[in-house]
Structure 1
């Protein structure tokens, strides 16, 4: 599994070595109203946003970032004109000054290769200086069931013949399909077939003792099989652009599909960019891989680490007249609720506290909501600092809230009293555990509800520190919502 730190700033020196000349960032100006800058902070980038926000436009322009590798016989090179055709119906899909500025990683971590693609009269220029890289586009038509295509394997089924020579294995394909789809596959391969003078290729799967071709596969199943084959067989360090890969996949399959993508980029050095409306897929990625696109009059704003689904949830809560308080995670949500309950129940009832992820996601969500005209307050962990004028507040104390609560004497005593559990023994036997895992891990050991466990400890902690400890935060929240 790909670790979050693998792509972060501390590992910049390894990016080119592990992933080649990947796109580090891009500036887009003048395409379908999209004017924006995007940094690619993780090998997999999910572009989320409401319909018409520019997700497909960004993905299509990324496909135009490379020259074709001379050794890639079956790959295609993409040009801007492929995606932005000019016609009588669409005379100006881009402005006269439209351009894309690409910034690529190089073997010198502090130096980026810069390249601009612009239009001179009728032709686009700037392609010649592009680095070489294999590029693959998995749009909505990457897999259309043969039954819908009326493929030769359907209308010439009676005269279909099979050639063993044309059998193409997908290494570990059955294992990957099993993980994603939640069903046990024994084998997956592609088989060459002929009918009269025509030839084609069919995916074949074996499971539960039955063998069947894609003529009898569902859309989601067939699309996963084709996607696995492409990502495993295309040249290493390819750029892959996908359009809404969640299509026809159930929620568990969406989550497992992202885990598979994280595995394949780690093994093969791909860079993957995909558009999505799936909160499951967005949440399966670390915050560095999430980008929310919001279209405005001046172009498209990009917000890091946050998902459109959570923003939509917040906006719907705000429609009821509630102020939105953005926090990092569910523990901070429970912690702040209990703090406000003790301070003033009227304040608690006038807000909605919503978790968005890490500190960067909280800040992005706060800015999105403010841009939408929603009354929003960001409450981050104690180490993030405050800006009262911008409604950026911090939890009291000096530690992340999980540590502040769990490591307190009051919490330890409560765990021992109610559950016979020694927090000190737990900490000494798990010296490297992430503080976010304290309560989930203990709840698993004690076979009890995590939420109840957290509430017991939070209440014991707040009883011990008294109301003065959180009074300043509560007063600042009250001022912000009045």
Structure 2
């Protein structure tokens, strides 16, 4: 099944993928070897390598490529780890893409600048000849002018979905592993706290509207997982889910999600579910609802998933690429994602 999907993706011309990012290079960026180049010649790109070699850093750069997005959401200067401009110039990355409606590829650059009031400003810049970028044309035709601004090419316009699986924890796991307990006469342990707050969460699951609150705590989003997503998650996890309801809330003193599952064994929440169950439902829903032609960046999707589930997740991603022409880039330590 996987090989047939790979062949199907291979048969789709890259021109069908709007504003496809073909290449990204790093003259001076974080800890990546200067002038490294990553060629993205297939809509499903897997980045593998040793710990600390820069896999996640590449995803963060790709996240910052599109118009309106900034790498500073993930990499920013601190006293402990300051970003500095070296003798080779400021941190920067350059990427190549073919704008929709233009018959040739262009290169755009984003450069880190320290500005007053914003120490982590990544700005589009003019072509940098020292980095072997082409000089900006003096005379642009009418079509080229649609993709340019004064003395530089426009940044790529593309929706981005960035998911770090390492950070995917349910509201229950966030509190039990990292939450702070304020002891009272009636709440002496984290278990006491969870027992008290799950009574509120249970009301939220049973309520028709988002009208359940506790002091300043409340639910902000609630929906039942659709049947298509249920079937996909059942296939990935090897279970038969009849129903799942997701709530985003801060009842446990942190913003997170809780899911109430229903299958042949009855009802249960993420507190007794496998961590992979919560992750898969959240991720499948997110990817299924990504706008067509999105750039989807996944950091270590193998976390909490057994190899069989990893392969089925990959098959799902292949199907979404075929249907919606997404460009997907992942980092991984798992052989499952590079199989075939």
- Sort the Cα spacing of 1:248 and 1:154 in 2 relative to 1 into closer, same or farther, 3 A: farther
The answer as to 2:316 corresponding to 1:260 is yes
The match for 2:173 among 122, 128, 148 is: 148
Comparing 232-241 with 139-148, which one deviates more in the overlay?
Answer: 139-148
- Sort the Cα spacing of 1:153 and 1:242 in 2 relative to 1 into closer, same or farther, 3 A: farther
- Per the TM alignment, residue 226 of structure 1 is displaced from its structure 2 partner at its CA by 0.7
1:298-353, Cα deviation, whole Å (9 max, x unpaired): xxxxxxxxxxxxxxxxxxxxxxxxxxxxxxxxxxxxxxxxxxxxxxxxxxxxxxxx
Check the 8 A contact 2:232/2:316 in 1, yes or no: yes
The answer as to 2:228 corresponding to 1:172 is yes
The answer as to 2:108 corresponding to 1:115 is yes
- Per the TM alignment, residue 198 of structure 1 is displaced from its structure 2 partner at its CA by 10
The answer as to 2:275 corresponding to 1:219 is yes
CA distance in 1, matches of 2:245, 2:158: 26
Identify the structure with the greater helix proportion.
1
CA distance in 2, matches of 1:213, 1:126: 46
CA distance in 1, matches of 2:251, 2:12: 53
Match of 1:37 in 2: 37
Match of 1:85 in 2: 76
Match of 1:329 in 2: none
Match of 1:97 in 2: 90
Match of 1:57 in 2: 57
Aligned-partner SS, 1:172 = helix
CA distance in 2, matches of 1:109, 1:199: 43
The match for 2:239 among 183, 207, 228 is: 183
Question: TM-score under structure 2 normalisation?
Answer: 0.70
Match of 1:302 in 2: none
Check the 8 A contact 2:246/2:257 in 1, yes or no: yes
Q: Which has the greater radius of gyration?
A: 1
Aligned-partner SS, 1:33 = coil
CA distance in 2, matches of 1:85, 1:195: 30
Match of 2:219 in 1: none
Check the 8 A contact 1:30/1:94 in 2, yes or no: no
1:440-464, Cα deviation, whole Å (9 max, x unpaired): xxxxxxxxxxxxxxxxxxxxxxxxx
Match of 2:156 in 1: 131
CA RMSD of aligned residues (A): 3.1
Check the 8 A contact 1:193/1:200 in 2, yes or no: yes
CA distance in 1, matches of 2:101, 2:76: 37
- Per the TM alignment, residue 22 of structure 1 is displaced from its structure 2 partner at its CA by 2.0
CA distance in 1, matches of 2:322, 2:280: 19
Unaligned runs of 5+ in 1: 69-77, 285-482
Check the 8 A contact 2:194/2:252 in 1, yes or no: no
Check the 8 A contact 1:84/1:93 in 2, yes or no: no
CA distance in 1, matches of 2:12, 2:252: 56
CA distance in 2, matches of 1:283, 1:51: 20
Unaligned runs of 5+ in 2: 116-120, 126-148, 180-192, 210-221
Match of 1:158 in 2: 199
Aligned-partner SS, 2:259 = strand
CA distance in 1, matches of 2:78, 2:251: 39
CA distance in 1, matches of 2:21, 2:159: 13
- Sort the Cα spacing of 1:38 and 1:118 in 2 relative to 1 into closer, same or farther, 3 A: same
CA distance in 2, matches of 1:81, 1:198: 23
CA distance in 2, matches of 1:270, 1:203: 27
